[in-house]
Amino acid sequence: MSNINQLFNKELKVINMGLKSFAEDLKSQEVKVLHVDWRPPAGGNKRMAALLAKLKK
């Protein structure tokens, strides 16, 4: 069975990144959701972010 078809038989367990209201909507429907307190990597400094990404590889 493909992963997509497997998902159709499973409970959704969601990670939400970005608009918090999407997580709140899911919570109100009793769907498991974890909201990430995301912020731009390296304080939004593009050069620094690129360096960081390289380091992580």
Partner 1 sequence: MGLSIRVRKNTYYDSVTLMLISKEVKKLEGVNEVLVGMGTDLNKELAQNLGLANDEINQLGPNDFFISVLSDTDDIINEIAIRVDELLNQKKDADGDEYIPPTFDSAVKFAPDSNFVIISLPGQYAYAEVKKALNNNMHVLLFSDNVKIEEEKELKELAREKGLLMMGPDCGTAIINNVPLAFANVVKKGNIGVVGASGTGTQEVTVLIDKLGAGVSQVIGTGGRDLSKDIGGIMMIEGIKALAKDPNTEVIVLISKPPAAEIAERVLSEAKQAGKPFVVNFIGGNPEVIKQYGGIPGVSLEDTARKAVALSRKETAVETEEYGEDEASLKEIAAREVKKLKKGQKYLRGIYTGGTLCDEAMKLLAGEIGGIYSNIPLEPQYKLENVFVSQQHTCVDLGDDEFTVGRAHPMIDPTMRQERLVKEADDDEVAVVLMDFVLGYGANSDPAGEMLPYILKAKEKMEAKGKAIIFVGYVCGTDKDPQGLKQQEDKLREAGVILMPSNAQAVKLTKALLKAASE
String marking each residue 9-38 x if it binds partner 1 according to CB under 8 A: -xxxxxxxxxxxxxxxxx-xx-xx-xxxxx
3 binds partner 1 (CB under 8 A): yes
CB of 51 to partner 1, least distance (A): 14
Q: Identity (one letter) of the amino acid at 35?
A: H
H/E stretch holding 32: strand 32-36
**Distance between CA 37 and CA 18 in Å, rounded?**
8
**Residue ranges in contact with partner 1 by CB under 8 A:** 1-5, 7-8, 10-26, 28-29, 31-32, 34-41, 43-45, 53
